Amino acid sequence: MPDISSSRVRLLVSVRDAAEAALARDAGADLIDAKDPDRGALGDLPPDTVRAIAAASGDRLTSAVAGEPQDGRAASACLAALAGTGVRYLKIAWAPRRDATGLVLPAGRPVIAVLFAEDGPSGADVPALAAAGFSGAMIDTRGKDGRRLTDHLPLPRLAGFAGACQTHGLLSGLAGSLALDDIPALAALGPGYLGFRGGLCGQGDRTGRLDPARIAEAVRRLAAVVPCPEAA
């Protein structure tokens, strides 16, 4: 079962190396996510880099993206390559309604399915993810062209996704070129976490370096949000 409490929405910060992991840790990130921002939405990092990130994250929860495979067998291989790196969660791109034939999830390592907003995911996709053995599900944006998550999907649909995850016992996450100003509306929907990269970098450039002041501000804004009763 996911080990992120549903009592509040947590902050996920994507990092590219151990130095950024330490910075995110010290600035208050709840979940430190290993990802290569130079390689698209879910660019995976080498296992040795992921190990160093896990070590630098201290007592914070950690995750690592495992790429964008095209089928279950390829996903299994990508996940296996990172299963021994010491992170708590693994994340893998997964198309809505994809056949899970050939998918083998690593034992003892919760896996989060990442659905892209451009594919139109909804809460109706969640039962199949739970049946396939995923421990969590999140929505991100495939394209990093300045459009944010809510440019693709309306708030009611995102709320339905987060609610379906809660009903089926899955950790839920929302991400996709989020800005600090997105926090109140999205956190009120009751996801397990909100994921950030570009919005926490200088000039909003996701390939740049993280700004600790922006991370601290995200932490502050999340702490101020009270989830809607129907999302709690």
DSSP reduced 3-state for 43: coil
**Catalytic-role residue among 8, 35, 88, 98:** 35
Told to judge if 144 belongs to the known catalytic residues of this protein, a careful annotator would answer no
214: region left, alpha or beta (phi > 0 left; psi from -120 to 50 alpha): alpha
DSSP characters over 85-147: S--SEEEEE--TT---TT--PPTT--EEEEEEGGG---GGGHHHHHHTT-SEEEEE-S--SS-
Instruction: Answer for the pair 75, 91: CB distance below 8 angstroms, yes or no.
Output: no
**Catalytic-role residue among 91, 152, 197, 214:** 91
Told to judge if 91 belongs to the known catalytic residues of this protein, a careful annotator would answer yes
Residues carrying an active site annotation: 35, 91
